[in-house]
């Protein structure tokens, strides 16, 4: 039974970690090789696509999505989608998709004469589900190996840990003060009742 | 436009539920503290008036700080995120 308990706890924390890893911003430094626009029909993978641009008709099943193709210094390829998150989840409140695409197109460069761009994004790339990370903002950098401190993630994780700790401490206190005494009392009563019952039948 | 209205409506509702819950729970704790304070330092004053005065004072402070933390702070945060994401 103990293994089942730990298994469930491990699954829970794994899901929390995966959720945070998907949602929190990350920054890659890469060279933009091309930008394009493709029609997308989200199906099984629709969880990993945002909605239609804010203000446009969101009920139509298919739409065009902007993409940004990049190559990192070590040769790895990464393709980003560029979609509005709008007023929905995750709360990046991104409405400037078309402007971002214009910036990305302007920052294109070749391997011979590279321009390095720090691409802030959230999400995962998964080839099996056709899932792409969503680019949130772009900024030109000098050095492709520049270390970028993930301030937003640090702040969000610290706040979440504080919130979790606050709830956990209160929960523990509540359990110790209210539930445990009640359970002990109930147990005592059951014991008294059963001994009384036993006495009755003994006679 | 509808998404925008829905977002603010849900956020407002959420903040209001939190406001009510925290207002009552903090008030309960504060009443206990005031009572302890009266026992140790102010037992020369009438308990009823002391309790009423102190509760009213802390009600005002609690109201203002909860408004700041639950309504103003999230609104400012969202505004800053919108600015940084789209116009920075």
Task: Test A96 with B87 for CB contact under 8 angstroms.
Answer: yes
Which tokens belong to B46?
């009438």
Q: How many CB pairs under 8 A join A and B?
A: 31
Window A:147-176, CB contacts with B under 8 Å: none
B88 touches chain A (CB under 8 A): yes
Residue B6 in contact with partner chain A when CB distance is under 8 A: yes
- B1 vs A: CB within 8 A: yes
Q: Exposed (0-12), middle (13-18) or buried (19+): which is A139, by Cβ within 10 Å?
A: middle
Rounded CA gap, B35 and A161, in Å? 33
Digit-coded pLDDT (tens) for A28-86:
999 999 999 999 888 888 888 887 777 777 777 788 999 999 999 999 999 999 998 88
* DSSP one-letter string for A54-115: TTS-S--S-EEEEEEEEEETTS-EEEEEE---TTSSSTT----HHHHHHHHHHT---SSS--
What is residue A66's predicted lDDT score, i.e. its pLDDT?
Answer: 94
For residue B74, which residues of chain A lie inside 8 Å, CB to CB? none
Q: For B83, which residue in chain A has the nearest alpha carbon?
A: A93
Q: What is the mean pLDDT of chain A?
A: 90
Per CB-CB distance under 8 Å, the chain B contacts of A99 are 86
Work out the mean pLDDT of chain B and round it to a whole number: 90
**Percent of chain A residues past pLDDT 70, beyond the cut:** 100
Distance from C-alpha of A92 to C-alpha of B83, rounded to nearest angstrom: 10
Tell me, yes or no, if A55 comes closer than 8 A to chain B by beta carbon. Answer: yes
How would you classify the pairing of strands A26-40 and A116-122? antiparallel
Per-residue pLDDT of B41-71, as tens digits, reads 877 788 888 888 888 989 999 999 999 999 9
Q: Domain residues of chain A, as ranges?
A: 27-148, 149-203
CA B52, CA B40: separation in Å to the nearest integer?
17
Q: Whole-prediction pTM value? A: 0.80
Tell me the ipTM for this assembly: 0.76
End-to-end CA distance of chain B: 23
For residue A86, list chain B residues with Cβ-Cβ distance below 8 A: 3
- What's the CATH number of domain A27-148, 3.30.450, 3.40.50, 3.40.720, 2.40.50? 2.40.50
pLDDT per residue as tens, chain A (203 positions): 788 999 999 999 999 999 999 999 999 999 999 999 999 888 888 888 887 777 777 777 788 999 999 999 999 999 999 998 888 888 999 999 999 999 999 999 999 999 999 999 999 999 998 999 999 999 999 988 989 999 999 999 999 999 999 999 999 999 888 888 888 888 888 888 888 888 888 76
Of A55, A91, A94, the CB nearest to B86: A94
CB contact under 8 A, B85 and A93: yes
A121 Cβ under 8 Å from any chain B Cβ: no
């Amino acid at each position: 039974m103990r293994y089942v308990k730990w298994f469930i706890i491990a699954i829970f924390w794994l899901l929390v970690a995966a959720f945070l890893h998907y949602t929190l911003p990350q920054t890659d430094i890469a060279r933009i090789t091309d930008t394009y626009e493709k029609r997308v029909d989200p199906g099984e993978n629709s969880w990993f696509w945002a909605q239609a641009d804010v203000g446009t008709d969101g009920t139509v099943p298919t739409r065009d999505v902007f993409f940004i193709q990049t190559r990192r210094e070590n040769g790895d390829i990464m393709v980003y989608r560029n979609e509005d998150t709008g007023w929905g989840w995750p709360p990046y409140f991104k409405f400037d998709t078309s402007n971002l695409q214009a910036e990305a197109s302007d920052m294109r460069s070749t391997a011979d004469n590279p321009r390095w761009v720090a691409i802030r994004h959230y999400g995962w790339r998964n080839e099996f589900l056709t899932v792409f990370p969503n680019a949130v903002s772009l900024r030109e950098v000098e050095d492709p190996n520049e270390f970028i401190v993930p301030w937003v993630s640090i702040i969000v994780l610290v706040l979440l840990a504080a919130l979790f700790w606050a709830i956990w401490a209160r929960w523990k206190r509540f359990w110790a003060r209210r539930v445990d005494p009640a359970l002990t009392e109930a147990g005592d009563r059951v014991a008294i009742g059963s001994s009384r019952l036993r006495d009755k039948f003994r006679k | 436009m509808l998404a925008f209205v829905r977002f603010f409506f849900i956020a407002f509702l959420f903040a209001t539920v939190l406001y009510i819950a925290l207002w009552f729970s903090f008030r309960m704790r504060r009443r206990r503290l005031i009572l302890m304070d009266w026992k140790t330092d102010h037992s020369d004053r009438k308990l009823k008036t002391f309790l009423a005065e102190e509760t009213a004072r802390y009600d005002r402070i609690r109201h203002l700080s909860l408004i700041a933390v639950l309504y103003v702070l999230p609104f400012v945060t969202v505004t800053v995120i919108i600015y940084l994401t789209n116009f920075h």
